[in-house]
């Protein structure tokens, strides 16, 4: 079971870049790393997914070092609407892993 | 393209009752996973269905059961409800071409009195 560790909370200001790091020391070979955003009383929203190195899409970047024991979600120029809980999920269906979300990181963006 | 939908939105039951929650997966998705999210906590994996069979289960008792239908929609059944079953129940579906990616529905808020 690939457990993850994230900071409980982070503060930022509008327009800043935010980096949230997740530790996953026992990641398995076939596991992918996926980040989700969740607003209160809503389902998690897919942000980005990667296996190794760097992945970028229109909303975020994901940095994964060679050993894959951690990953960093980078949100460029955050706004107030980015205030949410961010979860790092490490799992892979082909290993029949159990999907473990952890407690997530509460990001608070201030004006 | 329609995303993952869940019904009902909210539900109130009493201890000992049984409940059925429903999920319609996104078009082109053949894998469905169910999660329980208590207030202030991250989602906890209940089980996953792939091709109408259970394909992985978390640490939940047998009174949590499920089904997947030929159209890939799914049900979560919980028997003998307990107060601690009060939570947001989330359904997520995964596409055939990338079953490692999950897309979540809005959830069903279950309150057990």
* pLDDT tens for each residue of B56-101: 888 899 999 999 999 899 999 999 999 999 999 999 998 888 877 8
Per-residue pLDDT tens for A33-90?
999 999 998 999 999 999 998 999 999 999 999 999 999 999 999 999 999 999 999 8
Residue A39: φ, ψ to 5°: -95, 155
Which single residue is written with the structure tokens 């509460």?
A106
Our CA angle for B2, B4, B44, nearest 5°, is 165
Length of chain A: 111
Q: Determine contact: A52 vs chain B, CB below 8 A.
A: no
B47, B91 contact by CB (below 8 A) = no
User: How is residue B83 annotated by DSSP?
Assistant: G
* Inter-chain residue contact B107 with A42, CB threshold 8 Å: yes
b/e code A52-88 from CB counts within 10 Å (16+ = b): eeebeeeebbbbbeeebebbbbbbeebeeebebbbbb
Q: Is the pLDDT of residue B39 over 70?
A: yes
The size of the A-B interface in CB pairs under 8 A is 66
Residue A109: per-residue pLDDT: 97
Smallest CA–CA distance, residue A111 to chain B, in Å, is: 24
Closest CA to B53 of B41, B69, B64: B69
Closest CA to B22 of B112, B113, B107: B107
For an interface test with A, give the residue of B7, B43, B87, B91 to mutate (most A CBs within 10 A). Answer: B43
CA dihedral defined by A104, B47, A47, A35, rounded to 10 degrees? 40
For residue B82, how far is the Cα from the chain centroid?
A: 17
């Amino acid at each position: 079971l690939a457990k993850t560790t994230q900071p409980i909370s982070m503060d930022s200001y509008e327009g800043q870049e935010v980096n949230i790091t997740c530790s996953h020391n026992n990641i398995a070979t076939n596991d992918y790393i996926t980040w989700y955003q969740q607003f209160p009383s809503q389902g998690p929203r897919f942000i980005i997914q990667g296996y190794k190195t760097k992945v970028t899409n229109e909303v975020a970047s994901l940095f994964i070092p060679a050993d894959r024991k951690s990953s960093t979600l980078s949100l460029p120029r955050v706004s107030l609407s980015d205030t949410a809980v961010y979860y790092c999920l490490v799992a892979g269906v082909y290993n029949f892993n159990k999907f473990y979300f952890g407690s997530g990181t509460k990001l608070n963006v201030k004006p | 393209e329609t995303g993952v939908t869940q019904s009902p939105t909210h539900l109130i039951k009493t201890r000992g009752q049984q409940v059925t929650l429903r999920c319609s997966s996104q078009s082109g998705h053949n894998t469905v996973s169910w999660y329980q999210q208590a207030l202030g906590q991250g989602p906890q994996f209940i089980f996953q269905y792939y091709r109408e069979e259970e394909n992985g289960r978390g640490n939940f008792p047998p009174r949590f059961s499920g089904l997947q239908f030929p159209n890939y929609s799914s049900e979560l059944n919980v028997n003998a409800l307990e107060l601690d079953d009060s939570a947001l129940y989330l359904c997520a579906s995964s596409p055939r071409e990338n079953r490692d990616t999950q897309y979540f529905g809005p959830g069903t808020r279950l309150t057990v009195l």
